[in-house]
Amino acid sequence: MSDQKPTKEGQLNIELDDKTAEGTYSNLAIINHSVSEFIVDFISVMPGQPKAKVKSRIILTPQHAKRLAKALALFVLVLDILMKVK
């Protein structure tokens, strides 16, 4: 018997473990691409340090990269509008 609640058809059950939920800070992203994929490296650069490490790498298909770009643009627009209201 499963402890999971049944999901509606077509619904995705996404799990988030505690370590991933903490997140990783990044103040620099470097994007590379080919015809078949986009690679986004997230980096944390510390002031005065000549070296930095990639903290996370995400590899996306071009279709997913386009959807992510549209979603980010929309959320930034909404944030800008909300900040002007205050």
d(CA 16, CA 22): 10
pTM of the model: 0.76
Kindly report the backbone phi and psi dihedral angles of residue 23, in degrees, each rounded to the nearest multiple of 5, phi listed first. Answer: 80, 175
Question: How crowded is residue 38: how many other Cβ atoms within 10 Å of its Cβ?
Answer: 19
pLDDT in tens, 17-29: 999 999 999 999 9
pLDDT tens figures, 28-55: 999 999 999 999 999 999 999 999 999 9
Query: What gap in Å lies between CA 4 and CA 81, rounded to an integer?
Result: 39
